[in-house]
């Protein structure tokens, strides 16, 4: 894409009303736009990052047998009445302009909706197990919507639900999801810590979170420096220096961002919606469920919190909006056009800074702020060497690559 | 995908609360689930169709220079106050559970939101023209939500917005969008009629609709049988038998479904949000805008209205959930498994009816109802001929294909 075709522009100053690094850099770079507190637009560059994250999530969900679907955001009162969650403060109510009372809550989770749907189809143990997921916009009226993409009132979430004939089968799948989640975060450039957490609204037993260590994190966790066992401080009696209950290693306190969570739901929802099946012995029993969430915007925000420097974002290649940022300088426009077409034609993802009203310094600053993994610079000087300058966003030094070899960049 | 892994099931009877063919067939086939009036879940089969339609739309939008983004569903009051659209009946209000008054409307269109965003970035004629689009869930409190996917209260829409320095440039792009829309509908298996329509809420001048002829359609249009010129009855003084104002041919009255619409917005929104630019002469002027919508669910519903018979849906290949529906009959399970793996491995989209508790008749009925373009049947009988039976959903007769040639099906 040519920068001249992108309607957004970068900003030199941090937005005054943002205190988190992810919001500051993402707004300055033209990735997101703040419409209201906790409500953001994904601008073209930001949308590309979300699409990359969504693609990774879909691949890993499909690998563990998840089938994709899409449930509505308008969740009728009867669904939440069945589990006594209609009055939960976190919900946004929705009603027609002419209506006196709200008939809908904006979905902040979809256990009820999917359990009702599944109850219309499932009859026998032969129909189990299965898992279904969606990537959907969700709504929660967060009082503390001050951390950019980390805590939104409107946000994109992948929610997976699994259905089993026994607790045993649930736990087997629960473990598969855990591994898939660790792969997803790793592929996005995040090392997530699997953390024992409280039950929350969903279930009485322990749940598990995926925590990314970052100073901005709202969660406090205790992590064993020896075996990696971790507990959320909300449920933990541990403190820094205590011995890890698993291996005796030392527990360390850390601030972290919760990027995903998984919940063993048991039969809470299947009982509320009479989701039963006939087991092998010919008897009726309630389906055992699990639910599993990942925030896409929160994952994107966490990547920025972890991968940046004073000059801007340093995107991991897997989720970068473009792999290559091409800068044309003094008198090298024609050659830059050619390289752009060549890389584009070769299937490369390239953002071309073709603006002619910007100085070299402005272009370098924008390249660093936007943070694509590779920066190419072509100028009269590099052309003397029949070369283009290549620099990794993560490194300080650049090197020259012969013009005849630019397609080698596609292999990186 | 194996049918045994799909949690949905087909139904023999039409749902009692649905009167439109699209809702009846899509619910019976397990494509959609009705959660509330005008509020549907896209089940895995239905989601695949939506994804195909979205892919076609994205390709055609990108071809005409549209950049993708995503705006929020929560649209703050100030946006619609600026254009006096806050009180429009069609809106759903949203408010936090603890709040007295609604602070948001659920976006039913996004002119205001995007115009404000663009006003932060655009300064010069050099920044124009450009176009941006999103595929997003929208909300309208439709009093007549009785036509399945044709009129939803929650629905997916592609909305494109374009920004120009002059009316002349807008009309040039308007024509490009018109051609792109005709290509989109054609690729989805619909012949849309470009129809002159009223201005509506958006603009004083005429707008244009894309109408698909169908008995269930809520619109009445007059189409010239000679040149194809069409007018919506809402603005037309014509009646059947009148002479076409363009060519003198005969105008015919038809019922039709509006699957898309395009609006010349002029400067209404740029004036409301002070979206100005400096023109080549160095003077400030208001940006000229257009907006362009396509309903994805409505397109899907229209395809079903147009392409079905008494036995079920007849999907055009471009938007079919799967290209091939494979049925294993008596004693041919092993060979069916092999064909399934072979086609899957070859990149084919195949739905495999591997259920062993269904009769041949039930499997044939489901194949017709779900409506994939090609049906393969493998049985002891076809194996005697070392063949598989191939039948097109559109034709009555089947033919035998040697087992060695099944990969030829991928070329269709």
Residue B242 within any structural domain of the chain: yes
Per-residue model confidence (pLDDT) at position B5: 85
Based on the fold, state whether residues A255 and A176 are members of the same structural domain: yes
Chain B CB within 8 Å of residue A411 CB: no
- Chain B nearest CA to A81, separation (Å): 15
Tell me the sheet residues that pair with B132: B67, B161
B67 with A7: CB under 8 angstroms? yes
Burial A14-40 (b: 16+ CB within 10 A, else e): eeeebebbbbbbbbbbbbbbbbbebbb
**Domain-embedded: residue A1:** no
Q: What pLDDT score does B204 carry?
A: 60
The pLDDT value recorded for residue A199 is: 72
Residue B11 belongs to a domain: no
Closest residue on chain B to A68 (Cα): B44
Residue B35 has its nearest CB partner, among A43, A72, A139, at A72
* pTM for this prediction: 0.97
Give the A:B interface size as CB pairs under 8 Å.
Answer: 173
Mean pLDDT in residue range A261-283:
96
**Which residue in B43, B88, B97 is closest to A93 by CB distance?**
B97
Q: Does B194 lie in the same domain as B45?
A: yes
Closest CA to A3 of A252, A366, A279: A366
Domain presence at residue A5: no
Residues in contact with A362: Cβ distance below 8 Å, sequence separation at least 6, in sequence order: none
B309, B333, B361 - which closes a domain: B309
Q: Is residue A102 one of the residues assigned to a domain?
A: yes
Question: Per the structure, how many domains does chain A have?
Answer: 2
Share the mean pLDDT of chain A: 95
> Which pLDDT does position A308 carry in this prediction?
98
- Token couple for B249: 């041919």
Mean pLDDT over A153-180 rounds to 97
Among A105, A108, A76, A50, CA closest to A291 = A108
Share of chain A above pLDDT 90, in %: 91
A160 shares a domain with A73: yes
Alpha-carbon distance values, A139 to A363, B98, B119, B377 (Å): 38, 15, 27, 46
A4 domain-assigned: no
Selected for mutation to probe chain B from A41, A119, A134 (highest B CB count within 10 Å) is A41
> Which positions ≥6 away from A58 have C-beta within 8 Å?
A68, A135
B132: chain A residues, CB-CB within 8 Å: 7, 44
Q: Is the peptide bond before A129 cis (omega within 30 degrees of 0)?
A: yes
pLDDT surpassing 60 at residue A201: no
Long-range pairs, B246-254, Cβ under 8 A, ≥24: B249/B224, B249/B225, B250/B224, B250/B225, B250/B226, B251/B222, B251/B223, B251/B224, B251/B225, B252/B222, B252/B223, B252/B224, B252/B225, B253/B220, B253/B221, B253/B222, B254/B213, B254/B217, B254/B220, B254/B221, B254/B222, B254/B223
Question: CB distance A70–B92 less than 8 Å?
Answer: no
Pair B146, B185 in one domain: yes
Low-confidence ranges of chain B (pLDDT < 50): none
CB nearest A96 (choices: B7, B92, B126): B92
pLDDT for B199 equals: 72
Q: What pLDDT band is residue A4 in, cutting at 50, 70 and 90?
A: confident
Query: Cβ of B194 under 8 Å from any chain A Cβ?
Result: no
CATH of the domain at B273: 3.30.930.10
Asked if residue A256 and residue A358 are part of one domain, the reply reads no
Say if residue A205's pLDDT is above 90.
no
pLDDT at B203: 55
Are A336 and A361 a contacting pair, CB within 8 Å? no
Answer left, alpha or beta for residue A365, where phi above 0 means left and psi between -120 and 50 means alpha.
alpha
Q: Which residue among B280, B309, B338 closes a domain?
A: B309
Shared-domain flag, residues A241 and A360: no
Same domain membership, residue B346 and residue B227: no
ipTM (interface predicted TM): 0.96
Question: Is residue A203 very low, low, confident or very high in pLDDT (cuts 50, 70, 90)?
Answer: low
CB proximity A120 to B under 8 Å: yes
Give A307-353 pLDDT, tens digit per residue: 999 999 999 999 999 999 999 998 899 999 999 999 999 999 999 99
Q: Select from B275, B309, B343 the last residue of a domain.
A: B309
Query: What residues in A contact B32, CB-CB < 8 Å?
Result: none
Same domain, A301 and A171: yes
Whole-number Å distance between alpha carbons of A159 and A132: 8
Q: For residues A3-14, give the mean pLDDT.
A: 92
A219 and A246 together in one domain: yes
CATH of the domain at B347: 3.40.50.800
Q: Give the gap in angstroms from C-alpha A42 to the nearest C-alpha of chain B.
A: 5
Best of B9, B28, B41, B111 to substitute, by most chain A Cβ atoms within 10 angstroms, is B41
- Considering the domain architecture, whether residues B281 and B386 belong to the same structural domain is answered as no
- A window 342-361, beta carbon within 8 A of B: 357
Which A-chain residues 148-167 have CB contacts (< 8 A) with chain B? Answer: 153-154, 163
**Which residue in A362, A393, A388, A369 sits closest to A377, CA to CA?**
A388
Question: In this structure, are A82 and A219 located in the same domain?
Answer: yes
Q: Determine the average pLDDT of the residues in A155-161.
A: 98
- pLDDT category at A226 given cuts 50, 70, 90 is very high
B9 part of a folded domain: no
Q: What is the pLDDT of residues B31-68, one digit of tens each?
A: 999 999 999 999 999 999 999 999 999 999 999 999 99
Is residue A317 included in any domain, yes or no?
Answer: no
Measured between CA atoms, the residue of chain B closest to residue A94 is B94
β-bridge partners, A353: A327
For CA atoms B109, B115, B121, B127, give the dihedral sign: positive
Q: Assess whether A277 and A365 both reside in one domain.
A: no
CA distance B41 to chain A (A): 4
| Domain, as residue range, for B358 | 322-411
- Kindly report, residue by residue over A81-111, the tens digit of the pLDDT: 999 999 898 999 999 998 999 999 999 999 9
- What pLDDT, on a 0 to 100 scale, did the predictor assign at position A5? 85
């Amino acid at each position: 894409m040519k920068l001249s075709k992108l309607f957004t522009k970068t900003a030199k100053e941090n937005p005054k009303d943002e205190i988190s690094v992810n919001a500051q850099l993402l707004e300055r770079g033209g990735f997101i736009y703040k419409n209201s507190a906790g409500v953001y637009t994904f601008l073209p560059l930001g949308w590309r990052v979300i699409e990359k994250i969504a693609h990774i999530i879909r691949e890993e969900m499909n690998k563990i047998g998840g089938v994709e679907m899409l449930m509505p955001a308008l969740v009728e009162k009867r669904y939440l009445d069945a589990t006594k969650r209609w009055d939960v403060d976190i919900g946004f109510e929705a009603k027609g302009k002419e209506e006196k009372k709200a008939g809908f809550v904006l979905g902040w989770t979809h256990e009820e909706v999917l359990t009702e749907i599944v109850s219309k189809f499932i009859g026998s143990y032969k129909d189990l197990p299965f898992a279904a997921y969606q990537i959907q916009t969700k709504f929660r009226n967060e009082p503390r919507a001050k951390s950019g993409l980390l805590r939104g009132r409107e946000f994109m979430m992948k929610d997976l639900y699994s259905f089993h004939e026994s607790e045993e089968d649930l736990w087997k799948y629960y473990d598969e999801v855990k591994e898939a989640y660790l792969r997803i975060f790793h592929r996005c450039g995040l090392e997530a810590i699997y953390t024992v957490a409280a039950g929350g609204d969903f279930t009485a037993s322990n749940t598990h979170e995926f925590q990314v260590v970052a100073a901005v994190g709202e969660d406090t966790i205790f992590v064993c420096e020896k075996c990696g066992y971790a507990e959320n401080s909300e449920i933990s009696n541990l403190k820094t220096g205590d011995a890890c209950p698993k291996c005796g290693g030392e527990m360390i306190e850390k601030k972290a961002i919760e990027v995903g969570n998984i919940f063993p739901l048991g039969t809470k929802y299947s009982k509320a919606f009479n989701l039963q099946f006939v087991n092998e012995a010919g008897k009726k029993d309630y389906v055992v469920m699990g639910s599993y969430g990942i925030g896409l915007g929160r994952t994107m925000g966490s990547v920025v919190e972890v991968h940046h420097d004073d000059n801007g974002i340093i995107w991991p290649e897997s989720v970068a909006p473009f792999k290559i940022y091409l800068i044309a300088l003094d008198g090298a426009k024609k050659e830059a056009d050619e390289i752009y077409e060549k890389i584009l034609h070769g299937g490369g993802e390239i953002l071309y800074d073709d603006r002619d009203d910007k100085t070299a310094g402005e272009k370098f600053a924008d390249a660093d702020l936007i943070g694509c993994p590779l920066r190419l610079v072509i100028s009269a000087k590099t052309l003397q060497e029949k070369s283009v300058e290549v620099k990794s966003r993560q490194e300080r030094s650049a090197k020259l690559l012969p013009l005849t070899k630019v397609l080698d960049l596609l292999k990186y």
